[in-house]
């Protein structure tokens, strides 16, 4: 068996599942130490420290101008991109843009019975930094998914960090960045890129918010700079949970699990089924399909290390398992989809029926593929236009309003021992001589 099987009829099944989930949510002490050191160096040393750190990784002498793409370089790489890929990026951009355009940004105001005017207005953040991975793979889809909701929100300045110094550059990433109106593309990566965008240097502008996935060093760096800047989330390795039965071809389900597993050795792929024989069939298909997969080593390690096949015949129990996992991606491919989806409370994105593999959502279905991981779907959502909007309360109290409500504020302020607050109201209620 490729994936470890858990029979939920057994007493220890819940304990085994929790152990498996928790094992992926621990940050290594070594990672913390390295990241904290890098962030301190960037904050105190700026560009000089940034160059030194990048030179350490690339083993090459780096000048200031090497840290970003010139306009000529951008044009050169775009020319290298084939027409078909360019057209498909255009299609993905169009579909994702149309979906996010439907997400309404509301302003409102009203007058209450005392003639007080209350409401709020929505404003976009001004400056955004996005991080696009460039290690094991580089993804133009990450550019689109992180930039498009910001474009819809009307963020003025978008900057991008793309770790490619001393590496082969993926022209599709560069094309996607220009499509998304990225103002400047920096060639830096890792914790140092997050630090540069968070604190600002002479070369890298300080941003208001940082979004985008990365390795454990990038993730921990985002966690550390939160407060200095906003972030999208603390993303863990990618994950999928699939509920499937004999109504679907087991080779399709095997392919969906492998698609997720090839991202990272730490990706988590979980199959839940009410049929034990179906689980065996999927495992056999995984073995066959892995044989020809270019990223076989990554996918195989992921499935052996973190893959789970859960056997449960109870629909309610299956729903409870899903809500405990709170998966980033959830595929429901069974005869009981309609009943099951009504019981699901925690999931980043739900893919219904057999023609909706998670891979469609990764590229061009329309909804965002930046989703909560590591159980955070219990309290958070995928990236949206609202993540790039800040709301400002508008309060205009009338003379009648302060006369009617002021005494209650004074009483509450005194109760909280905040006499200064009380006094600011009293002054306005005092009769002028």
pLDDT for the residue numbered 21: 83
Is there a catalytic annotation at residue 329? Answer: yes
Helices (H), 239-354: 250-261, 276-290, 296-306, 315-325, 337-343
Domains of the chain, first to last: 4-25+236-365 (3.40.50.1980), 29-231 (3.40.50.1980), 399-429 (no CATH)
Assess contact for 153 and 384: CB atoms under 8 A. no
User: What are the respective helix, strand and coil percentages of the chain, to the nearest 5?
Assistant: 50, 15, 35
pLDDT for the residue numbered 20: 82
Six-digit token string for 185? 């593309």
Active-site choice (329, 331, 358, 369): 329
Task: Please report, for residues 30, 214, 314, 357, 377, the alpha-carbon distance to residue 36 in angstroms, rounded to integers and kept in the order given.
Answer: 10, 16, 47, 39, 27
pLDDT for the residue numbered 26: 59
Residue in the block written with tokens 């009769």 = 431
Half-sphere exposure of 179 (CA within 13 A, CB side): 27
Task: Please report, for residues 252, 287, 288, 291, the alpha-carbon distance to residue 296 in angstroms, rounded to integers and kept in the order given.
Answer: 17, 10, 11, 7
pLDDT for the residue numbered 351: 98
**What residues contact residue 241 under an 8 Å CB cut-off, 6+ apart?**
270, 271, 272, 322, 325, 327, 329, 330, 331, 347
- CA 162, CA 137: separation in Å to the nearest integer? 11
Active-site choice (239, 262, 265, 328): 328
Query: What are the pLDDT tens digits along the chain (433 aa)?
Result: 678 889 998 888 888 888 888 876 656 778 899 999 999 999 999 999 999 999 998 888 999 999 999 999 999 999 999 999 999 999 999 999 999 999 988 899 999 999 999 999 999 999 999 999 885 567 899 999 999 999 999 999 999 999 998 888 999 999 999 999 999 999 999 999 999 999 999 999 999 999 999 888 999 999 999 999 999 988 888 999 999 999 999 999 999 999 999 998 989 999 999 999 999 999 999 999 999 999 999 999 999 999 999 999 999 999 999 999 999 999 999 999 999 999 999 999 999 999 999 999 999 999 999 999 999 999 999 999 999 999 999 999 999 999 999 999 999 999 999 999 999 999 999 975 3
In this structure, what are the phi and psi dihedrals at residue 430, rounded to the nearest 5 degrees? -65, 140
Is there a catalytic annotation at residue 328? Answer: yes
């Amino acid at each position: 068996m490729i994936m470890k099987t858990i029979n939920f009829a057994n007493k220890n099944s819940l304990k085994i599942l929790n152990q498996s989930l928790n094992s992926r949510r621990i940050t290594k002490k070594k990672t913390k130490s390295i990241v904290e050191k890098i962030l301190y160096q960037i904050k105190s040393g700026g560009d000089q420290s940034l160059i030194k750190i990048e030179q350490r990784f690339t083993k090459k002498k780096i000048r200031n101008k090497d840290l970003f793409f010139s306009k000529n370089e951008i044009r050169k790489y775009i020319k290298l991109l084939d027409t078909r890929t360019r057209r498909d990026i255009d299609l993905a951009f169009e579909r994702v843009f149309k979906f996010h355009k439907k997400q309404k940004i509301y302003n409102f105001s009203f007058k209450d019975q005392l003639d007080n005017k209350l409401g709020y207005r929505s404003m976009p953040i001004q400056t955004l930094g996005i991080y696009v991975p460039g290690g094991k793979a580089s993804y133009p889809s990450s550019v689109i998914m992180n930039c498009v909701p910001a474009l819809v929100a009307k963020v003025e300045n978008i900057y991008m960090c793309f770790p490619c110094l001393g590496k082969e550059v993926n022209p599709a990433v560069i094309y996607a960045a220009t499509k998304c109106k990225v103002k400047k593309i920096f060639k830096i990566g890792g914790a140092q890129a997050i630090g540069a965008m968070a604190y600002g240097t002479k070369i890298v502008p300080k941003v208001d918010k940082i979004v985008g996935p990365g390795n454990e060093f990038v993730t921990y760096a985002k966690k550390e700079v939160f407060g200095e800047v906003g972030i999208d989330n603390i993303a863990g390795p990618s994950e999928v949970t699939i509920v499937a039965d004999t109504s679907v071809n087991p080779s399709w389900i095997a392919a969906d699990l492998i698609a997720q597993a090839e991202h990272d050795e730490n990706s988590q792929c979980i199959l839940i089924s009410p049929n034990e024989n179906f689980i065996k069939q999927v495992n056999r298909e995984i073995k066959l399909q892995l044989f020809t997969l270019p990223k076989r080593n990554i996918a195989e390690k992921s499935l052996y290390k973190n893959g789970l096949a859960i056997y449960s015949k109870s629909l309610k129990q299956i729903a409870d398992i899903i809500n405990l996992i709170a998966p980033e991606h959830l595929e429901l491919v069974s005869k009981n989809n309609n009943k099951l989806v009504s019981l699901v409370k925690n999931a980043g994105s739900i893919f219904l029926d057999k023609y909706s593999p998670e891979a469609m959502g990764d590229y061009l279905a329309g909804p965002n593929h930046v989703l909560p991981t590591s159980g955070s779907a219990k309290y958070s959502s995928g990236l949206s236009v609202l993540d790039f909007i800040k709301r400002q309360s508008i309060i205009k109290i009338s003379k009648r309003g302060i006369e009617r409500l002021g005494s209650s504020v004074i009483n509450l302020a005194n109760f909280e021992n905040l006499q200064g607050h009380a006094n600011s109201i009293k002054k306005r209620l005092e009769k002028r001589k």
